[in-house]
Amino acid sequence: MLQLQFIKERTEEVIERLKIKNVADIEQRISEILKLDEQRRALQQQSDAVKAEQNTIAKEVGMLFKQGKRDEAEVLKARTAELKAKEKELGEQSSAIEEELNAQLISLPNAPHISVPKGKSEADNVVVDEFGQKPELFEGALPHWDLCAKYDIVDFELGNKITGAGFPVYKGKGARLQRALINFFLNEAANAGYIEIQPPLMVNEASGLGTGQLPDKEGQMYTIPLDGLYLIPTAEVPITNIYRNVLLQSSDVFPIKHVGYSECFRREAGSYGKDVRGLNRLHEFSKVEIVVVEHPDRSYDMLEEMKAHVGSLLQKLQLPYHILKLCGGDISFTSAMTFDFEVWSAAQQRWLEVSSVSNFETFQSNRMKLRFKDSDGRTKLAHTLNGSALALPRIMAALLENNQTENGIRIPAALVPYMGCETID
């Protein structure tokens, strides 16, 4: 969530930036927040004064008892009864207002960076970079779901039987390709200085709140009510939450760069049609995620560095891609700036999103209380960023389709050492 202090000090800017996200009635919502904050502070001052008097009396009572002046002590005790009643009343008012204030703050999305383009939907996203050539496929080329069946490498029917739709079974060289991609992505990240993390695949409620999946996207996560746990929708959640309630003792630790592979679980309620065909959208999929904690002054440089890393992976896999700068209407609730990477799926003749790289500025760190001591001695909120590097199924879909030949599917050179073969046939 946005920092109250930031809203107070730079009200106009916050409103302008939130307008990029098309937040309705934003002026009203902000002024309501500022009003609640004023009320809260006034109440707290009153309540603090009452508590101060109570503390003084309590000390006096103690001394009087020691001196044996019981009668005088009793008089003071009577006074505290009044104070207690008053404090209780003030406390109730104050916590009601605080609750309301908190609810309003937490329901307010992150303010997009001022350079984020305005727009209503994905149609308004801006292509900022392109790489590679769309391949010309031969006559009779197949979409990846047919290739999966032809070479018996991904079995959707078997997944339906064992679990349900969206839980495919990878077999033979299909399973091998998954493992190759995971290792390739992890090694590339390690070479780029990311420290590998293998996180739990289930998280508690506090972690869900920390990165913003809760309460916003509760319906998108699989839950285990009996134990109060959630299956992670991305490794971002457990990895970023490593730093929940952490006060870093120096700014020398930046940047903190992590990479983690995990299975990701998403209910994807409401999805249908061509979007969920084959590997396009699954309930369980593998993803390698990069997560960075960075100094506020350098987070946008880091965003560029992460973009470059993701781009290098796609180039090594020889997949044609473009980069979109998401517009205000398409950017996520928690993000200040997001770039989407889409690869060309030659048989489907469509772009598939394979990575989303975002800077959250202090939105997550404010919720998580992720702070650091800056060189000026002040305690500040760190910036968090993350990106997919990369999500497997759509990479696999594009690889299969783009590299198909009459004699099988060609494995890109960078993956051959991991696959142990040059073709799937």
Partner RNA sequence: GGAAAGUUGGCGGAGUGGUCGAACGCGGCGGUCUUGAAAACCGUUGACCUUCACGGGUCCGGGGGUUCGAAUCCCUCACUUUCCGCCA
Residues in touch with RNA (CB under 7 A): 4, 41, 44-45, 48-49, 51-52, 54-59, 61-62, 65, 77, 80-81, 84, 247, 371, 373, 379
Helices 26-66 and 11-20 pack at an angle, to 10 degrees, of 130
Quote the CA–CA distance of 203 and 269 in Å, as a whole number. 20
Q: What span, in angstroms and rounded, lies between the C-alpha atoms of 240 and 381?
A: 14
Shortest distance, position 228 Cβ to RNA, whole Å: 8
d(CA 315, CA 307): 12
> Among 286, 283, 287, which Cα is nearest to 160's?
283
User: Distance between CA 90 and CA 96 in Å, rounded?
Assistant: 10
From residue 199, alpha-carbon distances to 11, 220, 246, 368 in Å are 39, 20, 18, 18
| Cβ-based nearer residue to RNA, 242 or 276 | 242
For the bound state, the minimum distance from the C-beta of residue 379 to RNA, rounded and expressed in Å, comes to 3
Distance between CA 165 and CA 45 in Å, rounded? 57
Rounded Cα distance between 202 and 223, Å, is 9
Q: CA 173 to CA 410: how far, in whole Å? A: 12
- How near is the Cβ of 366 to RNA at its closest, in Å? 10
**Closer CB to RNA, 126 or 247, in the complex:** 247
Q: Whole-number minimum distance, CB 412 to RNA, in Å?
A: 35
Query: C-beta of 137: minimal distance to RNA in Å?
Result: 45
How far apart CA 191 and CA 28 sit, in angstroms, is 49
Comparing CB distances to RNA, the nearer of 349 and 379 is: 379
Q: Least separation, in Å, of the C-beta of 52 and RNA?
A: 3
Smallest distance from RNA to CB 88, Å = 9
**127 vs 247, beta carbon nearer RNA:** 247
Nearest to 366 by CA among 343, 393, 406, 334: 334
Would you say 56 or 198 has its CB closer to RNA? Answer: 56
Strand ranges (DSSP E) for 166-270? Answer: 169-170, 195-197, 202-203, 223-224, 229-231, 246-248, 256-265
**Closest CB to RNA among residues 259, 370:** 370
Least distance (Å) from RNA to the CB of residue 41? Answer: 5
Residue 11 near residue 30, CB atoms below 8 Å: yes
User: Considering beta carbons, is residue 45 or 405 the nearer one to RNA?
Assistant: 45
What H or E segment, with its residue span, contains residue 315?
helix 299-316
Rank residues 277 and 373 by Cβ distance to RNA and give the closer one: 373
